[in-house]
Structure 1
Amino acid sequence: MLENELERLRLFAYCRVSTRMQVEGGNMENQRRSINRFIEQRRYKCEIVQWFEDEGISAFKERPAYERMMERLLEGGADGIIVVRLDRIGRSVKQLSNLIDTLERDDKKFIASEQSIDTTTMEGRLLTHILMTVAQFEVELFKERSREGRERYVDEGGVWGRKKIEIDTNLKKQLIRRYNSGAGTTKLSKFLATHGIEMSPPTVWHRLVEWGVEIRTIY
């Protein structure tokens, strides 16, 4: 893309912090500064049409500012989105991949100011897809190694773990829903304890994998 085309880019800037403590600690302001500094240093001279901010909201919960931004973006309100990092706008490979696909279909641009991700360039588009592919590969590789390790241990005569704890269908659904809403395995372990079930966070993680839950990837 030519430089004079970049100068005409009209962007929506999106910032998000997960907890109230991060809001009070200035994390939101740090994101704003990073985005402004990136634009100045790279001489984009593009206009930030509007700032959208979700405060104290997990990437896996409803994000009202994000939803408003995407609606306005697809209506033609801007040429693209700028964030500081990928994890501010999505944390799973599937979530990010769907976003990038949506933006590309509508010829919208995506920039992550602190990760050299910039889909206004061919190199930036390639890097974005490479990062998402590598992240997915790491998740799948970890699953495969875990499975092979268990199988090898059993083949050598070992007994894998303690007797498997049964979790009824209703409790299973609650665990999956809480995980998809942003709860970590430690919180899920404590939640199970309130139902009289002792299960370590790593075991909870393996159960989620076993149930086919999409595991979050942190960038």
Structure 2
Amino acid sequence: MAKQASKPIAIYCRVSSRQQDTASQKPDLQRWADAFAQDAPVIWYEDQFSGRTMHRPAWDRLIANARTGCVDKIVVWRLDRLGRTAKGLTALFDELPTLGIGLVSIKDGLDLETPAGRLMANVLASVAQYETEIRAERVLAGQARAKQHGKSWGGSKPGRLLSLTQEQVDAIIDMHDAGKSKSSIARATGVSRPTVYRILAQQTR
């Protein structure tokens, strides 16, 4: 009787913007694959997209494959690479066991196939959302302090390309995902509206 082929292991990488890359994640993920994938094929999925939404090009392909029974396990570098919303992550943690799919987070030392792993996953999901909200609050607080001292914080002339901090880029993406208008995002982060449009356009290319 022929040996049944192993289902693929999906390795997922994500960064929030095109100013970043996944190079820091890949060595650990490759070492995991070399040690534990054995004879199973490994398929890599990679996104440059905000973690505030669970709808991203590569992730959508991965979860579609998972739902059709074409994935055995999902491996990530850290749990927040899957997303930064507690609602989205906990829904995923509920769905994967019903699909018979394992989840491994290397840096968190997490395996969803164990009771302790499931508990830890839900705790870390709440922490990831908390960190996102705190980052946005820091940006707003920084602008408010600057205004109190009569300074403009991170502003720019319309149309001028400026060097943004990663915190500003993440805040722009997070506020957009939360439904804020382009004008309010520009005011909150201290940049021009064209800069907001440019950053958001880079997320959808």
Does 1:89 find its partner at 2:87? no
Percent of aligned pairs with the same amino acid? 27
Secondary structure at the aligned position of 1:54 is classed as strand
Secondary structure at the aligned position of 2:69 is classed as helix
Q: Which residue of 2 aligns with 1:29?
A: 23
Give the letter aligned to residue 50 of structure 2.
S
Q: Return 5+ residue gaps in structure 2 as ranges.
A: 1-5, 135-173, 194-205
Q: Which residue of 1 aligns with 2:100?
A: 107
Distance 2:73 2:180 in 1: 27
Distance 1:59 1:68 in 2: 16
Give the letter aligned to residue 17 of structure 1.
V
Assess, with a 3 A threshold, how the Cα gap between structure 1 residues 64 and 122 changes in structure 2: closer, same or farther: same
1:102-136 superposed Cα distances (whole Å, 9 cap, x missing partner): 11221211111111111133332232234346x39
Distance 2:128 2:78 in 1: 17
CA contact (8 A) 1:82 1:110 kept: yes
* Displacement of 1:40: 4.3
Distance 1:20 1:94 in 2: 25
1:157-200 superposed Cα distances (whole Å, 9 cap, x missing partner): xxxxxxxxxxxxxxxxxxx97242799x9756147997xxxxxx
CA contact (8 A) 1:54 1:65 kept: yes
Name which one, 1 or 2, has greater alpha-carbon Rg.
1
Tell me how many residue pairs correspond in the alignment. Answer: 144
Assess, with a 3 A threshold, how the Cα gap between structure 1 residues 16 and 120 changes in structure 2: closer, same or farther: same
Secondary structure at the aligned position of 2:50 is classed as coil
Distance 1:93 1:44 in 2: 29
Counterpart of 2:10 (choices 9, 12, 30) is 12
Q: Which residue of 1 aligns with 2:150?
A: none
- Of Structure 1 and Structure 2, the greater helix share is in 1
* Displacement of 1:48: 4.5
CA contact (8 A) 1:90 1:96 kept: yes
Q: Return 5+ residue gaps in structure 1 as ranges.
A: 1-7, 143-175, 195-219
Distance 1:48 1:179 in 2: 34
1:50-95 superposed Cα distances (whole Å, 9 cap, x missing partner): 111113x112354111101100111011112111111111101111
Give the letter aligned to residue 59 of structure 1.
G
Q: Which residue of 2 aligns with 1:204?
A: none
Q: Which residue of 1 aligns with 2:111?
A: 118
CA contact (8 A) 1:79 1:108 kept: yes
Counterpart of 1:60 (choices 52, 62, 71) is 52
Tell me the TM-score normalised to structure 1 length.
0.53
